[in-house]
Amino acid sequence: MTDKNTFDAIVIGSGMSGGWAAKEFTEKGLKTLLLERGPEVKHLRDYPTTNMMPWEFPHRNEVTQEIKDANPVISKCYAFKEDAMHFFVKDNEHPYVQEKPFDWIRGYQTGGKSLMWARQTQRWSEFDFEGPARDGFAVDWPIRYKDMAPWYSYVEKFAGISGNRDNVATLPDGEFLPALELSCVENYFSDVVKKNYADRHVIYARCAHITSPQQIHLDQGRAKCQNRTLCQRGCPFGGYFSSNSSTIPWAEKTGNLTMISNSVVHSVIYDEKAGKATGVRVIDAKTKQSTEYFAKVIFVNAAAINTNLILLNSTSSRFPNGLGNDSGVLGKYFAFHNYRARISGTYEGFMDKKTDGRSPTSAYIPRFRNVLKQETDFLRGYASGFSAGRYVDRDTNGFGEELKSNLGKKEMGLWRVGSHMMGETIPKESNFLALDTDKKDEWGMPLIKINVDYDANDDKMVKDYHEQLTEMFTKAGFQDIKTTDSHQPPGLDIHEMGGVRMGNDPKTSMLNKWNQLHACKNVFVTDGSCMTSTSTQNPSLTYMAFAARAADYAFSQLKKGEL
């Protein structure tokens, strides 16, 4: 059984970063086991709603009140509709302990949340990697932008990222496919901002959509994005990047991949005598039977919270408080993105245009606060999304033939503009994850306790965002400007980060510059849990780059016999 269950590498989690680790290892000839706690979702085969018309859904894609009442957390997610709710974890299926309110959005299946993500892909800049050291929070990143730049390029070329070369210091340019078009109002707002601010930019929001397929994308069996804006259903064209359409099929083609679904990883097995991890203990999600698998190198990519859970649950005489946790910081300094603030308005221009502005992406405002110097009463800054669209105004007056005639008239209404804030939160020891000592799930795993909240820095950032965007909207001549603060609990940003942070000092961090546990050299972590700070950018591209870079390093160390 040991020989049958032994591989060169084990990757836990088949989502955004786990798919990349599996691709890299199998390409390099390593027999790789990819473990996924949810069911199998095969590209093309398992997208049941992808080509359905609106009238084919029982409730026209709306979620019933009964389902909302049964799922008070997941039903808050914008993509939890009839067409995609089968890809989301239901509240009662996988409970967790909210010591403070936290909306944990999950997708347990092949590809994880890479099936339903918003596909926004921005590089970090030098300002982001040097931020903690400069501004005196968290710990210093053990890497800088120059370390990651070639790996950003590497994953961008394979994934397919559309964008423009914008020459913005806070948002480095990348390896881009042609950009999709912004709407006329989005372009107009960009021009207004350019004329009024030297340090602010409204640009095309770079996104993981194939706009002009290159040979590498055709080799993956993927095609051009059709601009359907139905991405959360799973794309039959492979027009946007997901593990299901890209990295996992690529790994399968090598013949070196073994993927086992419905595999709940209980813990990483540590050999006290060997001084390293030897494998993982897995519980079958259906039969509840336990099995052990073995490998020379292990990548833990279960998504931030579950990666923390697995490592905290991986105890031994050597590591009584969790695998690699000599520093005592495992589960601590957990962070997220602040999405509470929004602003909306209307615009009376461009009424002669016939389009509605619909697109798979939008405009994007890179961070402009506290970049070159500290200029506000809060640390760090925020980026913003910006979009402009319009709806058909329907005349519902009249009865019978008159009503029918009125409804048939298609007239576009005013342009509606809106923006949402993506604020950087400061990692703090008081924001932490821990295991519940009493409550367990149906697989015998302790429930994770989440103790995470906003602070005064976040509140000040919301206030500044409202002030600055109101000024920018006013200069653009937008009307009916309204600001809102949802005061929503953390979590709906779906950008969980930290708990297994990188750092130079083993006394204050878990991972070194190669995403390798300081205290257990053959275990690597490259999902959101590895993040030392959050910056303002959507993080998935950075996870992909970390995974590819760390896998390359792990392979080189294996060849040298160091692991």
Give yes or no: residues 379 and 294 share one domain: no
Write the pLDDT tens digit of every residue in 24-65.
999 999 999 999 999 999 999 999 999 999 999 999 999 999
Write the pLDDT tens digit of every residue in 378-433.
999 999 999 999 887 777 888 888 888 877 777 888 999 999 999 999 999 999 99
Closest CA to 24 of 515, 545, 563, 528: 545
Report the distance separating Cα 363 and Cα 354, nearest Å: 20
Q: Which of 489, 510, 540 is the last residue of a domain?
A: 489
119 located within any domain: yes
CB 420 within 8 A of CB 493: no
CATH number of the domain bearing residue 513? 3.50.50.60
Write the pLDDT tens digit of every residue in 456-470.
999 999 999 999 999
Give yes or no: residues 83 and 140 share one domain: yes
What six digits make up the tokens of 84? 């995609």
pLDDT score of 1: 53
Tell me the residue range of the domain where 169 lies.
165-205+338-424+454-489
Give yes or no: residues 332 and 350 share one domain: no
Give yes or no: residues 358 and 460 share one domain: yes
Give yes or no: residues 481 and 348 share one domain: yes
pLDDT tens track, the chain, 563 positions: 567 899 999 999 999 999 999 999 999 999 999 999 999 999 999 999 999 999 999 999 999 999 999 999 999 999 999 999 999 999 999 999 999 999 999 999 999 999 999 999 999 999 999 999 999 999 999 999 999 999 999 999 999 999 999 999 999 999 999 999 999 999 999 999 999 999 999 999 999 999 999 999 999 999 999 999 999 999 999 999 999 999 999 999 999 999 999 999 999 999 999 999 999 999 999 999 999 999 999 999 999 999 999 999 999 999 999 999 999 999 999 999 999 999 999 999 999 887 777 788 999 999 999 999 999 999 999 999 999 998 877 778 888 888 888 777 778 889 999 999 999 999 999 999 999 999 999 999 999 999 999 999 999 999 999 999 999 999 999 999 999 999 999 999 999 999 999 999 999 999 999 999 999 999 999 999 999 999 999 999 999 999 999 999 999 999 999 99
Q: Within 10 Å of residue 288's Cβ, how many Cβ atoms?
A: 11
235 located within any domain: no
Q: Within 10 Å of residue 184's Cβ, how many Cβ atoms?
A: 17
Give yes or no: residues 390 and 539 share one domain: no
Give yes or no: residues 49 and 196 share one domain: no
List Cα–Cα distances, 265 to 49, 280, 298, 325, 413, in angstroms. Answer: 30, 7, 12, 19, 52
Specify the number of domains making up the chain: 2
CB 204 within 8 A of CB 361: yes
Match 């806070």 to its residue by tokens. 170
388 located within any domain: yes
219 located within any domain: no
CB 488 within 8 A of CB 339: yes
Rounded to 10°, the helix 540-559/145-159 angle is 100
241 located within any domain: no
List Cα–Cα distances, 212 to 25, 117, 161, in angstroms. Answer: 28, 21, 10
Length of the chain: 563
CB 283 within 8 A of CB 289: yes
Angle at 143 between CA 138 and CA 149, to 5 degrees: 130
Give yes or no: residues 154 and 74 share one domain: yes
Helical spans, DSSP H, in 78-173: 126-129, 131-135, 145-159
Give yes or no: residues 188 and 82 share one domain: no
Give yes or no: residues 172 and 112 share one domain: no
4 located within any domain: yes
229 located within any domain: no
Give yes or no: residues 327 and 440 share one domain: yes
pLDDT score of 2: 67
Give yes or no: residues 19 and 119 share one domain: yes
Report the distance separating Cα 408 and Cα 517, nearest Å: 63
Q: What region, left, alpha or beta, does residue 317 occupy, with left being phi > 0 and alpha being psi -120 to 50 degrees?
A: alpha
Report the distance separating Cα 252 and Cα 25, nearest Å: 11
What is the distance of C-alpha 80 from the center of its chain?
A: 16
List Cα–Cα distances, 556 to 27, 29, 551, in angstroms. Answer: 13, 12, 9
β partners of residue 298: 10, 523
210 located within any domain: no
